[in-house]
Structure 1
Amino acid sequence: MGSYTSTPACSNCLKGVDLCGESPHNMSEKTNQDELTLILMGKSGTGKSATGNTILGKTIFPSNLSTQTVTKSIQKSTRTWGKWKLVVVDTPPVLTETDLVKKWKEELCIVIMVVQLGRYTEEDREVYRYVKKNFNKPHKKMVLLFTRKEDLEDGNLSDYVTKTENKHLKKLIKNHKIPYCAFNNKTTDEKEKQSQLGELMTKIMNLVEAQ
């Protein structure tokens, strides 16, 4: 699928990188980009494909509100984020491509585990166990991303994860130190889109810098 290149830089910048995806300096220089693979994983119906589209800034992956599986094979697309070429990978609920997983492990990659807010189940635990088994030290390679951020309404995500009665979810964040954030994939507010994408990319870049 085709690559996506952002529009010229806006006034909001993050660590020298514009939230629209372009470096505010030397925007025309796009050669010798570092490549970073972002692997979306999660059970059916969590909003993986919609999350991938939010990251890309345009609709590439098929997505609907059904709990039925939409993504039946691995799909990917790219965009630019500052000096980085982001390769966004949308995966089916069950990954059987062991050779591809091995390839990812040898590359610079971050797993984005997508979970629906308020619906952390045994299937989600299975996804985490898969990530832990195949990628090792997930606290260094993974971000937990909650979809349906809009369901928080006036609430706070930090309060939600602190007060959750789901023991495994609480352990995942408190004991394993997995960074987390949330997306409203339905929003049409450009400022909100940039803000939540900027928060995710900050967490991702913190993991990358620590590797």
Structure 2
Amino acid sequence: MFVLQRFLGHLSIMAEMIRGLNVVLLGRTGIGKSASGNTILGKEAFKSKKSSTSVTRDVAVESGRVCGRWVTVYDTPGLFNTELSDQLMTEIARSVYLSSPGPHAFLIVFPVNMRFTEHEQQIPQIIEMMFGEEVLKYSFILFTHGDLLEGESVEKLIEKNCRLRDLVQQCGGRYHVFNNKAQNNREQVNDLLQKIDSMIEQNGGGHYSNQMFEDEEQRKQHEEKQIQDEIKRFLLLLLIFCCC
């Protein structure tokens, strides 16, 4: 009987993993990415520290059962970290795509009290460069420090800030608010998962696939080759001109 119960328990966990979610956290350093991962998983899975120096150097991956399903969270290094070279950004994207079957949702994290500058406006474009042109169809804006709203609705905050409004619109109008000081409030997590489910349904029931990443990599390589060919042609013409 014990062996049967153990076997059925393993089957139950496998079923949860099959219908699980892969969630990627993106954003600047010190804005609550890791804390949001901890809130989602309901445990201290990631190192969380309010600092301008990135705690996360590589992609950190943690999993757990959340609201009756298996959820895997990918905590990425902070965007605009001075140590993030183009090569490292590519490696971050590649490590995320090693997940199976692929990311279901990208959560772009902003604190509600952040001052939105040109840097913040560039984040969607940087994410597109890392993951491909279709990535924003699978993206949410996740606002942290929800306790700082102090009764003001996040909708009002979005409405009165044109830069923020544009960011939300680029993500299909999808957003959610977390109060990471209230990790025991599982309703905020359940609401997020329901919103992700709705987005997945709108996207045809799938995830952001490895094929999409590979297509994007091929497109980048093709563009780089075109640029190199143009440079070679220019240098050849310059050489011919100098020899005449």
Scaled to the shorter chain, the TM-score interval is 0.7 to 0.9
Match of 1:186 in 2: 181
Match of 1:47 in 2: 32
Separation in structure 2 between the aligned mates of residue 125 and residue 52 of structure 1, nearest angstrom: 23
Q: Residues 34-91 of structure 1, C-alpha deviation per residue, up to 9 Å, x if partnerless?
A: 2321000001111100000000100011111222211111111111245642110100
Percentage identity across paired residues of the two chains: 27
User: Could you tell me whether the CA contact under 8 Å between 1:143 and 1:203 is conserved in 2?
Assistant: no
Between 1:167-176 and 1:198-207, the stretch displaced more is 167-176
Match of 2:187 in 1: 195
Match of 1:207 in 2: 199
Amino acid in the other structure paired with 1:149: G
Q: CA deviation at 1:99?
A: 2.6
Give the match's secondary structure for 1:115. strand
Q: CA deviation at 1:125?
A: 2.7
Give the match's secondary structure for 1:76. strand
Determine which of 66, 74, 80 is the counterpart of 2:65.
80
Provide closer, same or farther for how the CA distance between residues 88 and 160 of structure 1 changes in structure 2, counting only shifts above 3 A. same
- Structure 2: where are the runs of 5+ without partners? 1-8, 79-83, 204-244
Provide closer, same or farther for how the CA distance between residues 194 and 84 of structure 1 changes in structure 2, counting only shifts above 3 A. closer
Give the match's secondary structure for 1:73. coil
Q: CA deviation at 1:175?
A: 5.9
Amino acid in the other structure paired with 2:13: K
Q: CA deviation at 1:106?
A: 6.4
Provide closer, same or farther for how the CA distance between residues 123 and 71 of structure 1 changes in structure 2, counting only shifts above 3 A. farther
Give the match's secondary structure for 2:13. coil
Match of 1:132 in 2: 128
**Equivalent residue pairs, number:** 180
1:1-211 to structure 2, matched below 5 A, reads 29-32=12-15, 33-81=18-66, 84-93=69-78, 94=84, 95-97=89-91, 98-103=93-98, 107-119=102-114, 120-133=116-129, 134-164=131-161, 167-174=162-169, 176-187=171-182, 190=184, 193-211=185-203
Separation in structure 1 between the aligned mates of residue 30 and residue 41 of structure 2, nearest angstrom: 19
Amino acid in the other structure paired with 1:31: M
Between 1:81-90 and 1:61-70, the stretch displaced more is 81-90
Give the match's secondary structure for 2:71. strand
Give the match's secondary structure for 1:30. helix
Amino acid in the other structure paired with 1:151: L
Q: CA deviation at 1:100?
A: 2.3
User: Could you tell me whether the CA contact under 8 Å between 2:136 and 2:170 is conserved in 1?
Assistant: no
Separation in structure 1 between the aligned mates of residue 144 and residue 119 of structure 2, nearest angstrom: 16
Taking structure 2 as the reference length, what is the TM-score of the superposition? 0.65
Larger radius of gyration, structure 1 or 2?
Answer: 2
- Structure 1: where are the runs of 5+ without partners? 1-25
Two-structure CA RMSD over aligned residues (Å): 2.5
Taking structure 1 as the reference length, what is the TM-score of the superposition? 0.75
Provide closer, same or farther for how the CA distance between residues 65 and 83 of structure 1 changes in structure 2, counting only shifts above 3 A. closer
Q: Residues 6-40 of structure 1, C-alpha deviation per residue, up to 9 Å, x if partnerless?
A: xxxxxxxxxxxxxxxxxxxx9x8322332321000
Separation in structure 2 between the aligned mates of residue 29 and residue 105 of structure 1, nearest angstrom: 19
Between 1:87-96 and 1:123-132, the stretch displaced more is 123-132
Structure ranking higher in helix proportion: 2
Q: CA deviation at 1:111?
A: 0.4
Q: CA deviation at 1:132?
A: 2.5
Match of 1:17 in 2: none
Separation in structure 2 between the aligned mates of residue 207 and residue 76 of structure 1, nearest angstrom: 22
